[in-house]
Amino acid sequence: MGCCETDHDHDDDLLECAKVGQKIRHFSLEAYDPTEGGFTTIDSEKLLKKKKWLILFFYPADFTFVCPTELADLAAKHDKLKKLGAEVISVSTDTQFAHLAWKTSERMLAGVKFLMAADPAGHVSRYFDVWDAETGLDLRGTFIINPDGVLVSSEVNFYNVGRNADELVRKLEANVYLAKHPAEACPAKWSPGDKTLTPGANLVGKVYEALNPE
């Protein structure tokens, strides 16, 4: 992995990778749409104009082993993520045609309804710093982008460790809550309905008391 590239191969077009807390740059990807049964183009600006949260779920490759278990797990939480206002997009360096073939043949993907994006040249994968130059594949990267286009969460795993969609739901729930309550912060393992923290001088050295009132 390394620096991130635009659609050109010139050194002066190199860009920094996406960073948590900063706005992402525009990207577009061809994709297979399992719901419609055809192909489409994903445009990040158009989705953000709809005030959508974006979840990008990078994985190594179609027709592999851990990957279908991850996408099946993500599919089981898809409705919940949609209700929170998110557009879920899986991404690999396979083509949209390979996605169609994999979705059709792999029974574990029967419940997948989210867009399956193709990044065969690796441009978007490089930008999110998950592209592995040794293999030409993506690492297991999960990114949450808020409706303002700001990257608020980043997680990257190596090839041999699958992710847990329950934690993705929890992180999106926390970010959606904090977007409406920016003065607060969510402690470890926070779930909707749990106590939050309000950072300030009165909280210094008193976190236990704040979370465990008498």
Q: Which residues are catalytic?
A: 67
| Total residue length of the chain | 214
Q: Which two tokens stand for residue 148?
A: 């303002």
DSSP secondary structure, 131-191, as one string: EETTTTEE-EEEEEE-TTSBEEEEEEE-TT----HHHHHHHHHHHHHHHH-TT-B--TT--
Secondary structure class of 70 (helix, strand, coil):
helix
CA dist 168 → 36, 67, 175, 191 (Å) = 25, 16, 11, 12
What are the backbone angles phi and psi of residue 48, rounded to the nearest 5°?
A: -70, -30
